[in-house]
Amino acid sequence: MLKINKSSFNDFLSDVMRYNELVAPVMTDESRFETIKDVSAIHLDLHTYFPVKHFFFKKRQTLMSFDKGKVSVPELQPEKKQRVMLGLKRCDLNSIKRQDLMFMKETEDPYYTEERERTVLIGYHCKEPFDEYCFCSSMDLGDYYDLMLYEKEDAYLVEIGSEKGRSFVDRYRKYFWDTDLFLTPEDRRMETDLKLEKRDIAAYYNSPDWKKGVDICFSCAACVTLCPSCYCFDLYDEIDSKLSKVERKRNWASCQLTCFTKVAGGHVFRDSREDRFKHRIYHQLQYFREKHGMNLCTGCGRCIRGCPTRINFVNILNDMKD
C-alpha cells in the first residue's frame, strides 16, 4: 500500500499535466469530465452527470471517406500524449470494463483501442452514495483500474491495480510514499439505499407493472445517452450535392428511438414504446449477463437522474410480483 499526501497532491497533478493530458471531474454548467487546465477546478468527489465514454467511444466519428475516386480512412495517431483520467468512480470504471469488452475483445475497434491504451485510469472510492439514485452496491462490481485512491484525513491511500499503474507510480515515485496503513473492509465498503433486489428478471417480461414506467416514458433516449455502458451506434453515409464526396460516419444511437430497429421496407422491430422500454432494461440486466457473465448496468443511476420523469426502473422491478 502506498500513500500520496494531500499537501503535495496539487503539485503532483501539476507535474502530471506537464507531459500528459489530465482529465478529471469538474463543475461547469453541469458536472462532467473535462481536460484540465487548472488543477483547482477538479472536484474529486463529484459523481458526474455526464459519463466519460465519449473520450473513448466518440459521439460522432468519420470511419471512411470517398473523394474524387479515392477511398481513405482516418489515420491512427500513436504520437498522442498519454492521458491520465482521474476521479473515476467504481461504477465508471466497471462501465469502461464493459466497453473494453465490446470494442477491444468482442470486436477490435482500432480507434477505441488507441484511446484506451494511451489512458491511465485512476479511480476515487466513494465513501457514501452521491444521491438517492445510486444503486451500485447491488451490482457486484469488481476492481478495474490502474490506480485507486481512498481518501484519508491528510492523505490518499493508493492501491495499484495493473502494470500500467505500477509504471505510472514509478514515473512519479517522489510523490508516493510507503505506509503502514492498510485498507479495512469498511474502507472498501459502499452501501447504497437504493438496491436492485431481483437478479434474474426473465420471468417478469409480461408483467403489467411495466406500465408504471412505460406510461410516463417520452422515448427521449436521455437514459441511454447518459449511460456509461451503452455502446449502440448507427452508420450512415453523408453525400455531397454533386455525389462526388461521401463520408461514412458512426454516431451514438439508442434502442429507445423508433428509427433504431427500422429496416428496408419500413418495418420497425420494436415499434411500441413498451417493447423499447423493456428491451433496454433486459439488455442491461439479463441479455448481456447471459452472454458475458456480468450485468451491463453498473448502478450509476444516471438513467434515473437524467430522466425527465424520473422513471426509477429499480423500484418498478423490486415491486413486481412472481
What b/e string do you get for 217-235 counting C-beta neighbours within 10 Å, with b at 16 or more? beeebbbbbbbbbbbbbee
The partner residues of 72 in beta bridges, in order of sequence, read 65
CA distance 111 to 237: 19
The count of other CB atoms within 10 Å of the CB of residue 169 is 17
What predicted TM-score, i.e. pTM, was given to this entire model? 0.95
Tens of pLDDT, residue by residue, the chain (322 residues): 999 999 999 999 999 999 999 999 999 999 999 999 999 999 999 999 999 999 999 999 999 999 988 999 999 988 899 999 999 999 999 999 999 999 999 999 999 999 999 999 999 999 899 999 999 999 999 999 999 999 999 999 999 999 999 999 999 999 999 999 889 888 999 999 999 999 899 999 999 999 999 999 999 999 999 999 999 999 999 998 887 899 999 999 999 999 999 999 999 999 999 999 999 999 999 999 999 999 999 999 999 999 999 999 999 999 998 7
The residue count of the chain comes to: 322
Q: Which residue's C-alpha cell is 420494436? A: 270
Task: Please tell me the predicted confidence (pLDDT) of residue 269.
Answer: 94
* pLDDT at site 243: 78
Residues 6+ apart with CB under 8 A from 119: 55, 56, 82, 83, 84, 85
Q: Which of helix, strand or coil describes residue 246?
A: strand
